[in-house]
């Protein structure tokens, strides 16, 4: 059991390093008078950035789970990991609802609404990842 946890930890650190390197990708830009094709490419760029940001976040979540699991074992406090997992679920719910109301404000313009949702989600995922990076 201890050996498999060490392997998972090392794998998480490796993924974290490569995710951080790939995180420095292109910046998405939408010109003021964008054509529908340019807007579509912009949305695809946002999707790519969002996928990368979520991968990085998941790496940090796995790292924290490993650390908290270890702390639970050392201290005997069995609530630590459960509370962390609840906070992850609460954050996902917050992102969903926070971006949904922003999306609804931009309707009936579906393109503007989609861009609003994606930029909101990207911002909140990056914000939560920064929080996960803070030392325990």
Note whether residue 68 is domain-resident: yes
Q: How many domains does the chain have?
A: 1
In this prediction the pTM is 0.78
Confidence of residue 30 (pLDDT cuts 50, 70, 90): confident
Note whether residue 31 is domain-resident: no
Confidence of residue 21 (pLDDT cuts 50, 70, 90): very low
Q: Look at residue 31 in the predicted model and tell me its pLDDT.
A: 85
Note whether residue 26 is domain-resident: no
Please compute the mean of the pLDDT values over residues 91-102 and round it to a whole number.
Answer: 97
Q: Look at residue 111 in the predicted model and tell me its pLDDT.
A: 92
Give residues with Cβ within 8 angstroms of 57, minimum separation 6.
Answer: 125, 128, 129, 132
Full residue range of the structural domain in which residue 62 is found? 2-21+37-133
Round the average pLDDT of the chain to a whole number and report it.
Answer: 87
Q: Look at residue 136 in the predicted model and tell me its pLDDT.
A: 84
Note whether residue 52 is domain-resident: yes
Residue 114 has pLDDT above 50, yes or no: yes
Helix axes 36-75, 80-106, angle to 10 degrees: 160
Task: Tell me the CATH number at 114.
Answer: 1.20.1270.180
Residue 17 has pLDDT above 80, yes or no: no
Note whether residue 27 is domain-resident: no
Q: Are the C-beta atoms of residues 91 and 58 closer than 8 Å to each other?
A: no
Residue 5 has pLDDT above 80, yes or no: no
Higher-pLDDT residue of 32, 46: 46
Note whether residue 32 is domain-resident: no
């Amino acid at each position: 059991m201890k050996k498999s946890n060490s392997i998972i930890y090392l794998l998480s650190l490796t993924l974290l390093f490569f995710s951080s390197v790939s995180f420095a990708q292109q910046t998405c830009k939408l010109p003021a008078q964008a054509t529908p094709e340019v807007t579509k490419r912009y949305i695809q760029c946002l999707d790519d950035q969002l996928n990368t940001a979520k991968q990085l976040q998941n790496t940090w979540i796995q790292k924290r789970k490993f650390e908290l699991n270890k702390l639970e074992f050392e201290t005997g406090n069995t609530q630590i990991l459960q509370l962390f997992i609840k906070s992850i679920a609460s954050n996902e719910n917050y992102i969903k609802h926070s971006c949904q109301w922003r999306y609804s404000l931009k309707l009936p313009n579906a393109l503007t609404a989609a861009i609003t949702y994606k930029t909101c989600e990207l911002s909140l995922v990056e914000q939560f990842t920064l929080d996960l990076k803070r030392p325990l």
